[in-house]
Amino acid sequence: MKKKMNVNGADIVVEEDHVTVSADSGLVTADSSIRIEDEVRHDLPRGHCMVRDGDAVAFSSTGDVMDVLVVVGEPCGDRIPEALRISVEEVSSAAGILTEIMGQRVRVVALPGDERPCEDSIRGAVRRSLQGVLLDGPGVEELLEARGVTIDGMVDAGMDLVVGVDVTAELRDRLRSEIQRALGDLNVRALLAAALHLEGDIENLRILGVDLRDDPAFLYSDEVLGMAVANQVAGTKAIFNFKRYDEEKPGILGELGPMVDDAVAGLIAGCMSRLFE
C-alpha cells in the first residue's frame, strides 16, 4: 500500500520495501558524496519507522547496519553538508554505542537552495524514528535530566560566568547547539555515563570502602573526569576553563553530587571554549 506526502514541493512516495523522493526543482543528496538527482529511491527493510517533524522526514531501519534516510523539505541543498552533519550527530546521540557495533548509513535529501536547514526538525525526526526501531532505554540525556540537569540549565550555568560580552539570545542558542553537538560524541557520553553510574553507586554505598557523599578534600578523581570531558570537547584550553566552573559552580552545578557536577562542568566548560574560539 502506497503512502504519499508532499513537503514543500518534495514528493515522497512510501511503498512496502522502498521510498521514492522527487521534485520538479531536482534534489541534492549527500551520503559518502554529494550529488544532484531528479529522483531518489531508497530501500526500506522490514520494520522501518517513518517520522515527520516540521519540514523534515526521517526513515530509520536496522538490518546489517543502522540505516537512516532524512528528507529535508527546505531549499537548503547548498548547505547539505551541514544537514548531513546534524543527522549523523543525532544518529550517534540517539543510538549510542550501537552505532559502533552495527555501523551506520545516513543519507540526506534536500531541495536546492541556500537556506539554513532547521536543526531542531532534523534532530527530532531522526531521534524519534530511531526510537521506533530500537529498544527503549534511558540515554545519557535522560539520566542527566533525572538528576535535574537539562540543556537549558547547562546553558544558564554557562552564561553565568561570561565576561566581556553581552549575553544575548543568539549566544545562548549557539551554546545550546554546542552542547547538543558534544552530546553526540561517544566519548563524551561514555565519560558522562561513567560519572552518573559511579555517583549512583556512591549514593547507594554499593562500593565497599568508598563513601564520597561529603565530597572530601582529598578527592580529585572527580576533577580528573571533568578535565577529561572538557579536553574531549575542546582540547587543552578547555581544561583551564573547567577550573573556573569547577570552583565557582554556577547554577545547577552547585546542586549536583561530587562526580556528576565535575563531569557536567567539563561539558559546559568545553562548549564555552568552543563558543569563543
DSSP state of 235: -
Q: Kindly report, residue by residue over 135-158, the tens digit of the pLDDT.
A: 655 678 888 998 999 999 999 999
CA dist 6 to 57, 73, 236, Å? Answer: 11, 9, 48
Model pLDDT, residue 38: 94
What is the three-class DSSP state of 251?
A: helix
pLDDT for the residue numbered 110: 97
Cβ atoms of 11 and 37 within 8 Å: the answer is no
Locate 28 and state its grid cell: 541534492
CA 37 to chain centre: 29
Domain residue spans of the chain? 3-131, 140-275
What pLDDT is recorded for position 16? 84
Q: Is the pLDDT of residue 218 over 90?
A: no
How far, in whole angstroms, is CA 255 from its chain's centroid?
A: 24
Class of domain 140-275: mainly alpha
Q: What is the pLDDT of residue 215?
A: 62
Strand partners, 22: 11, 39
Beta-carbon contacts of 109 under 8 Å, excluding residues fewer than 6 positions away, are: 10, 21, 27, 28, 29, 40, 69, 70, 71, 72
Query: Which one-letter amino acid corresponds to residue 33?
Result: S
- Do residues 92 and 99 make contact, with C-beta atoms less than 8 angstroms apart? yes
Look at the block and give the residue holding cell 540517539.
94
Distance CA 202, CA 204 (A): 5
Would the pLDDT of 1 be above 70?
A: no
Q: What is the mean pLDDT of residues 248-265?
A: 94
Nearest alpha carbon to residue 85 among 101, 100, 102, 72 = 72
Nearest to 31 by CA among 85, 93, 99: 85
User: How many Cα atoms occupy the beta-carbon half-sphere of 85 within 13 Å?
Assistant: 13
Pairing of strands 34-43, 18-30: antiparallel
CA distances, 203 to each of 200, 207, 251 (Å): 5, 10, 22
What is the spatial distance between Cα 117 and Cα 80, in angstroms, rounded to a whole number?
8
Region of poorest pLDDT, from 11-20, 40-49, 111-120: 40-49
H helix runs in the chain, sequence order: 80-95, 98-102, 119-131, 140-146, 151-160, 169-182, 186-203, 221-234, 236-248, 260-275
Whether the pTM exceeds 0.75: the reply is no
